[in-house]
Amino acid sequence: MLQFEFVAWYHDTWEFGYGITMYFSDGTKYVFGEGHKTVTDHQHFDLPFGVKSQVKVPDVRGDSKADATAALKAAGLDVGTVTLRPDPVCNYIDTVMEEQPDPGRLADVGSAVNLVIGTKPTTRCL
Q: What is the pLDDT of residues 51-98, one digit of tens each?
A: 567 888 999 999 999 999 999 999 889 999 999 999 999 999 999 999
Phi and psi at residue 53, to the nearest 5°: -95, 145
Cβ atoms of 32 and 49 within 8 Å: the answer is yes
CATH assignment of 56-119?
A: 3.30.10.20
CA distance 8 to 21: 27
pLDDT band at 33 (very low <50, low <70, confident <90, very high): low
Least confident piece of the model among 1-10, 82-91, 103-112: 1-10
At residue 101, does pLDDT exceed 90?
yes
Provide the H-helix boundaries in 38-94: 65-74
Q: Which residues pair with 44 in a beta bridge?
A: 5
Least confident piece of the model among 41-45, 69-73, 108-112: 41-45
Measured between alpha carbons, how far is residue 86 from residues 57, 91, 106, 116, 119 in Å? 24, 10, 28, 10, 4
Radius of gyration of the chain (CA): 23
Which pLDDT belongs to residue 1?
47
Helix (H) or strand (E) holding 20: strand 13-23
Strands ordered across the beta sheet of 13-23: 13-23, 29-40, 52-56, 106-108
Which pLDDT belongs to residue 55?
84
Which pLDDT belongs to residue 52?
61
The domain ranges of the chain are 3-50, 56-119
Which pLDDT belongs to residue 35?
65
Q: Which residue type is seen at 12?
A: D
